[in-house]
């Protein structure tokens, strides 16, 4: 095998490695985008049933609204 063929083979390998690398990055980005859209859609469907008073709310455990998340964070820090 002469040096010209070796260079050509090395270039093909690098091309395939680069292609695989970019395909993997694109796949991870696509999955992240799908998961982010799903999360935003879930939050958009939620409504506060207790006028923002989370401490006495029965749905605070499953709620993803910012007030409920803040309450969960504070109560978790107090227990730690």
pLDDT in tens, 8-66: 777 888 999 999 999 999 999 999 988 877 766 566 567 788 887 888 888 888 888 88
Q: How far apart are CA 25 and CA 43, in angstroms?
A: 27
Does one domain contain both 29 and 56? no
Q: 31 and 5 in one domain?
A: yes
Residues 27 and 59 in one domain: no
Model pTM score: 0.46
Domain count, the chain: 2
**Domain ranges, residue 65:** 48-80
Q: What is the pLDDT of residue 31?
A: 94
Q: Are residues 63 and 76 both part of a single domain?
A: yes
Q: Are residues 57 and 78 in the same domain?
A: yes
Q: Give the C-alpha separation, 32 to 38, whole Å.
A: 10
Looking at the structure, tell me whether residues 14 and 40 fall in a common domain. yes
């Amino acid at each position: 095998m002469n040096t010209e063929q070796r260079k050509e083979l090395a270039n093909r390998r690098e091309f395939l490695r680069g292609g695989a690398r970019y395909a993997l990055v694109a796949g991870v980005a696509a999955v992240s985008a799908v998961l982010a859209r799903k999360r935003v859609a879930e939050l958009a469907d939620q409504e506060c049933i207790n006028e923002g008073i989370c401490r006495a709310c029965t749905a605070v455990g499953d709620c993803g609204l910012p007030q409920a998340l803040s309450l969960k964070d504070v109560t978790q820090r107090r227990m730690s």
